[in-house]
Amino acid sequence: MSRSGTANPRKHRSMFPKVAAPPVDSSTGWDDHVPNLAIDGVSRRLKRCHSELEVPASVSCSSGGRKEKGIRLYSAFDGHDVCASENQRGQSSSFCEEEEGVGERTAVSLALAIFLIAGLGLGYAQDNKDLDNYRWRVQGDWWFSHPSGFFGANGSNNYFDIDRDFRFANYSTFSGKIDWRFRRKHHFLFTIAPVTSSSTATLNRTIEFQGETFEIGSQVTANLRSLSFSPGYQYDIVRRDHGFLGLEVDFAMLYTEGTLKAAASVNGQGAVKSASNSLFAPLPVVGPAGRWYPLHDSNRLSLEGSVRGMYFFGYGDFLTARGTLGVGLTRRLAFRAGYQMGSRLTIQGTSDQIAIRVTQKGPTAGIEYSWGEVPMPAPKPPPSAPTQASDWHVDWVPFYLWFTGLQGNLGAKGFVVPVNVPFSDVFAHLNIGLMTTLDVRRKRTGVLTDLVFISVSSDQKNTPAGNVYSGFTANAKTFFLDSEAYGRVADKDWVSVDALGGVRIWHLNNSLDLLQGSSTAVSTGQTQGWVDPVMGARFCLNLKKGWFLNLKGDAGGFGVGSRVTWQIYSGIGKEIKRKYSLLLGYRYLDVDYSNDGFLYDTHMSGLLAGFGIRFK
């Protein structure tokens, strides 16, 4: 679609007096989950703040035969409520806020402070020596991380809390990063952070997880495993001899798995009872990154920070932040240390997909090695001298809008419904849409990536589904990434032609509610992912006064992933000051995939509009 184509938590002494717990109706299941709970125990839960608390209006709370004016605290995740007196409200609130947010505030505040210092410092850097000149940079870090949050199914008791149930301790792991600075202001990045931790505890409540019941009082081992790897691109908006301030765009691929294991007895024989679930979340993230060398004419000391994240409305959100101080050991070797919130991932979950909120944060230290140099920019020639064209071309559409409808058949666990969301109703049914594309080319070869995430709902309560159900509602969360390499077979002033080949990576979730009259008879959902090989071509016709026409088409699948997938795009654009462009076009995408009761036989089509930026 572009011009060229498209820390350990703090320990607090209890500040609440010990008072006998109020009578509790056994039917609520309170004693099954939190036995022998006194007000002091409530304060400990508030200090750990393991679930988000909703605080409604003041109510009267009974305690030891007395009534106190207080507030009722409702745990939004486990469904239980407790009373705390009015004079405890401010204390419990402060404990929650301090415990839950201290790591995030530390990492984000440190990174933002570095950005501010770097921004002020770069304005005064006037030396002719580039203190941050390198071609390749590799960084390896030790990371003393502490996990927190929960892991389980959405809207049920099918979950476990990392801190409250198992009290996970700090543990050592590592992270790594490769930075290829292929031009003075352009970087290709790749980061990886594997995390594996476990903890064994005697349960103080009964946990139901993935069809297995782990009884109160039993010894259970929880294992938490996650892997994050993120290819990305960074553009240095400001680069001076004493550092840079840039914008980083990553495609974060996050895999998280939780497992519970406990000893069990089957027919008098010892056995191991185990239950696990996992989630793969491919998420685009964006944010600032910067580094500053404060010493005059020396790279012995540096400050670096970065913050990246994205909010995905009803799907979830992701945030990562880091701030470090670097000390140069040699000209190419440096030691770095600081604090890192490696990730804070929240996924709301669906009827079949787990909901998680996992934060990994803690101090970090490591070694950084740089080598190679990027040539300094040549002095600008006189106005009369012709300029030499660059071998590199980077076109980025940071966000474009695809006003797409959805027609076809959706299926989950064997249930199939006909979906019809026309283009004219897109605003009524489109819950979220995120699209971006990046095109990087050197001479005649390049790489084109196109990322799309959309969530479309269909409310067809009067459309029969089979012979049993009178109507349905459906939601399709669709993610795909086109990653294609291309070669330029024709490159003229008025036209260019590219031959493309690559893959289309899919990750989808279908959720269905089948109705009988006005009530829901069946609620189900299913998630699938697959990869399709694709081949195609792209044409660009340059018109007069900066106008241009684009045409792109591809086809694939071939039974490798889907039975078939194909798309076509056609559009017109206007170049502005040879650096920016406005785009308007039409896109049609078809896919036919079925596997294990999951069906996605649909086509999406509609108008497309975007804004492009060219970096040369």
Convert the pLDDT of each residue in 575-594 to its tens digit. 988 888 999 999 999 999 99
Residues 401 and 359 in one domain: no
What mean pLDDT is reported for the chain?
Answer: 76
What's the chain's Rg over C-alpha atoms?
28
Residues 242 and 335 in one domain: yes
Cα(339)–Cα(364) distance, integer angstroms? 6
Output 573 or 270, whichever has higher pLDDT.
Answer: 573
Question: In this structure, is the dihedral angle defined by the CA atoms of residues 483, 488, 490 and 493, taken in order, positive or negative?
Answer: positive
**pLDDT of 126 higher than 60:** no
Cα(312)–Cα(610) distance, integer angstroms? 20
Residues 35 and 76 in one domain: yes
3-state secondary structure 63-88: ECCEEEEEEEEEECCCCCEEEEEHHH
Cα(555)–Cα(534) distance, integer angstroms? 5
Convert the pLDDT of each residue in 147-167 to its tens digit. 888 887 655 567 788 888 888
Q: What is the pTM of this model?
A: 0.59
Number of domains in the chain: 3
Q: Which pLDDT score, from 0 to 100, does residue 593 have?
A: 95
Cα(15)–Cα(128) distance, integer angstroms? 59
Tell which of 95, 129, 144 closes a domain.
95
Residues 562 and 503 in one domain: yes
* Residue 602: band (very low, low, confident or very high) from pLDDT cuts 50, 70, 90: very high
Tell which of 318, 349, 365 closes a domain.
365
Residues 81 and 110 in one domain: no
Q: Which pLDDT score, from 0 to 100, does residue 52 have?
A: 38
Among the listed residues 406, 448, 344, 383, the one whose alpha carbon sits nearest the alpha carbon of residue 106: 344
**pLDDT of 426 higher than 80:** no
What is the extent of the structural domain holding 201?
A: 103-365
* Residue 115: band (very low, low, confident or very high) from pLDDT cuts 50, 70, 90: low
Cα(142)–Cα(171) distance, integer angstroms? 10
Three-state DSSP state, 597: coil
Long-range own/partner contacts, residues 556-559 (CB < 8 A, 24 or more apart): 556/504, 556/532, 557/532, 557/533, 557/591, 557/592, 557/593, 558/532, 558/533
**pLDDT of 558 higher than 60:** yes
Output 459 or 581, whichever has higher pLDDT.
Answer: 581
Output 28 or 166, whichever has higher pLDDT.
Answer: 166
Convert the pLDDT of each residue in 346-382 to its tens digit. 776 655 556 777 888 889 999 999 999 988 776 666 6
Per the domain annotation, does 226 fall within a domain? yes
Residues 87 and 109 in one domain: no
* Residue 249: band (very low, low, confident or very high) from pLDDT cuts 50, 70, 90: confident
Output 125 or 185, whichever has higher pLDDT.
Answer: 185
Convert the pLDDT of each residue in 44-103 to its tens digit. 333 333 333 333 333 334 333 334 433 333 333 333 333 333 333 333 333 333 444 545
Per the domain annotation, does 589 fall within a domain? yes
Residues 262 and 402 in one domain: no
**pLDDT of 424 higher than 90:** no
The DSSP element (H or E) to which 92 belongs, if any, is helix 89-122
CATH label of the domain that carries residue 565: 2.40.128.90
Quick check: 597 and 412 in contact, CB under 8 A?
yes
**pLDDT of 605 higher than 50:** yes
Residues 39 and 119 in one domain: no
Residues 172 and 301 in one domain: yes
Distances (CA, A) of 502 to 219, 532, 609: 49, 9, 24
Among the listed residues 574, 578, 577, 585, the one whose alpha carbon sits nearest the alpha carbon of residue 538: 585
Tell which of 365, 400, 429 closes a domain.
365
Output 315 or 340, whichever has higher pLDDT.
Answer: 340
Three-state DSSP state, 114: helix
Per the domain annotation, does 515 fall within a domain? yes
* Residue 335: band (very low, low, confident or very high) from pLDDT cuts 50, 70, 90: very high
Per the domain annotation, does 255 fall within a domain? yes
* Residue 2: band (very low, low, confident or very high) from pLDDT cuts 50, 70, 90: low
Stretch 132-143: mean pLDDT, rounded? 93
* Residue 463: band (very low, low, confident or very high) from pLDDT cuts 50, 70, 90: confident
Three-state DSSP state, 327: strand
**pLDDT of 244 higher than 80:** yes
* Residue 124: band (very low, low, confident or very high) from pLDDT cuts 50, 70, 90: very low
Per the domain annotation, does 20 fall within a domain? no
Stretch 325-338: mean pLDDT, rounded? 93
Q: Which pLDDT score, from 0 to 100, does residue 453 have?
A: 85
Q: Which pLDDT score, from 0 to 100, does residue 204 have?
A: 87
Per the domain annotation, does 370 fall within a domain? no
Per the domain annotation, does 409 fall within a domain? yes
Per the domain annotation, does 229 fall within a domain? yes
Residues 294 and 361 in one domain: yes
DSSP structure class, residue 242:
T
Residues 188 and 244 in one domain: yes
Question: In this structure, is the dihedral angle defined by the CA atoms of residues 521, 526, 532 and 537, taken in order, positive or negative?
Answer: positive
Residues 91 and 121 in one domain: no
Q: Which pLDDT score, from 0 to 100, does residue 421 have?
A: 82
